[in-house]
Chain A
Amino acid sequence: MNRKMLAVVLTGVMVSSLVPAFTAYADDTRTVAMICDSSISDGGWGMACYNAMVAAAEKTGWETMYSDSIAQSAYYDTIVSYCDLGVDMIYAPGNQYTDAVLQAAEEYPEIAFALLNGGVDTPEKAANGNVSSLLPDATQIGWIAGALAGLMSESGTIAFIGGMELDTTLAKYAGYGEAAAYVAEQNGKSVTLLDPVYSGDFSASDKGIEFAKAMIDQGADVFFGDASAVDSGARQAIDEANEANGSITIYDIAQPTDLLGQNACVIGSQVTDNAVLIELSMKAVEEGNFGGETLFGTLQNGVLSAGELNTEIVPEEVQTAYADYIKQMEEGTFMQ
């Protein structure tokens, strides 16, 4: 009897949970759905991408939906679920969703797919021309962090923590290293970037702690990362090391939003305003000309920028020098 009652109750709950799915999007409001493998409250990538979508939607009057912390095996299924609900645009913030997006885009030609950090050639691969890449310049992102690292490193060793070995992550790593080496050399120093390490996912903050501890043991004194919540773990380990030393001598450069003040070790941030790119995509959908192109985000068009510096830690002369380097990047003369 107990089992029958339990089964009836559970069935009732399941059926009632389906009701909103069939009723919520019956009106004419346009809808964008975001999928994300990290949490939208991770204080890093997921949070920035979600907030960018919400900001763009507020300007354009769209409604938003999201699924976060989804497993790699669920990328495609989650996208298709939203397609079946009749959303107007799928927003996938990461290179890792490329295969799932291309497959779903082929099956749902009437839906727009905006792939943040997608490859330049990805839109061409879409059979129905309904995919666009939104591509913040990963090399410039690396430069913004690398120039600051080159100026601030005292030990001559800097570090980078990645989540997965994505093309954009590799480009950020390369840009970070070359900018740091260039800036350090110009200031009479030498900087070595440790080999990149990867946590394998974007939510293992404990891995960030362990990576940072290991890299501090190797002498790293400036950190940059592309691993979402893993970066927050690294910042915790850096703060602990600084506390043990009695002063802040190991630093972190955050991304992709301005995280100054979140941790004592954060000396600056690389900021990416993805909202601009998403808004452009939404307008393209409304005008019926979405797809088949790559929308670039650069320092020049204002999508990328350097966040505020921690003026209590970063010396005034470094602030001035850094501002000069950022200006060179904007003008296209950096490292020329």
Chain B
Amino acid sequence: MGSFTANLILASIRMASPLIFLSLAELYSQRAGLVNIGIEGIAAIGSLTGFLISLISGRPFVGVFAGALAGIAVNMIFAFATITLCAEQIVYGMAINIFAPALAAFIYRVYFGSGSELVQAGLMGTLKSMLGIKSNHFLVNLFLDQTPMVYLAYALVILTAVYFSRTKSGLNYKAVGEYPKAAATLGINVIGVKYLSCVICGALAGIGGAYLTTCYSKTYVDGNVAGRGFIALAAVIFGRWSPGGVLAACLFFGFCDALQIRLQLINNTLPYQFFQMIPYVATIVVLAIIGAKKAGPRSSGQPYRREER
């Protein structure tokens, strides 16, 4: 395999990993009937929290855990507003996207001061470095030069697939997103499942954000989530609301992003903006094709009012 292809594949894996966490977060939310477009904001607060706690504790794992907790805390605002108050989900998701990154920027500024030097925290080690392997063979780098979070991301995809299709609890969960009133008549705690979905969604989105600052980049910069929360939304639709499909979508988006970076380097005739468009054009094309037939949860985006007939 040529070095261009090998490095392209490795870069695709790197760039897809945070997307997998964020897309799974959105999947769990939508499967319970909650369209949460605030993933971008939750990831931003997770990113900062992960960075700060990793820096303070010197342990990136603790940073990831803290990122998950911060994600849950922020998503509880969305949960209370949309589940208890039955507010419009899109509006509150957008509010989270405005509020959470601003809160993250504020906390960073308070903690480090204005105009401070760029602070760098240590990153989580890869399995290859933990095992002391020196080989730079492509397969070694592909399967072993990854942080434990990458393995966790793929394990979560499998667990989610099994949970939604092979367990009674998972089927109940999906029932809440499909037809909550029918689910309630079967004794399923609809409100409880919806809140649970927000806890899972907040945790995964927070982990996705924390991944960026504990496994990928040593620094926290405002805006470092860089639209991944919105790509996660597209990935869930692209993936037809299934864990396997979502994984394929994330790998596809990661590949497109990695490709545009490398194409900029080898092509000097086309303007660079042309290559930067690739991930977004690909998203539009894929959604235009895949999105023609709706396969999402039927009550997605609709408030659940227990007393309403």
Contact = CB atoms under 8 A, between A and B. Distances in A.
Contacts of B231: none
A214 B276 CA distance: 16
B11 A203 contact: no
B261 A41 contact: no
Interface string A202-229: 0111110111011101100000000001
B85 A2 contact: yes
A204 B226 contact: yes
Interface string A52-69: 001000000000001011
Interface in B1-21: 3-4, 7, 11, 14-15
B217 A233 contact: yes
B307 interface: no
Given A41-B116, A205-B221, A217 B261 contact: no
Interface residues of A, number: 44
Contacts of B262: 214
A248 interface: no
Nearest to A47: B115
A99 interface: no
Given A3-B85, A211-B261, A51 B7 contact: no
A169 to B, nearest CB: 11
B146 interface: no
Given A41-B116, A195-B268, A229-B221, A210 B108 contact: no
A44 interface: yes
A140 B309 CA distance: 74
B258 interface: yes
B226 A206 contact: yes
Given A42-B118, A165-B272, A203 B264 contact: no
Contacts of A233: 217, 219
B116 A218 contact: no
Contact of A198 (B85, B117, B136, B264): B264
Interface of B: 3-4, 7, 11, 14-15, 84-85, 87, 105, 108-109, 112-118, 120, 136, 212, 216-219, 221-224, 226, 257-258, 261-262, 264-265, 268, 272-273, 276
Given A203-B221, A236-B217, 13 more contacts: A6-B85, A38-B221, A66-B114, A69-B105, A195-B268, A197-B264, A197-B265, A198-B272, A204-B226, A206-B226, A210-B14, A211-B261, A262-B120
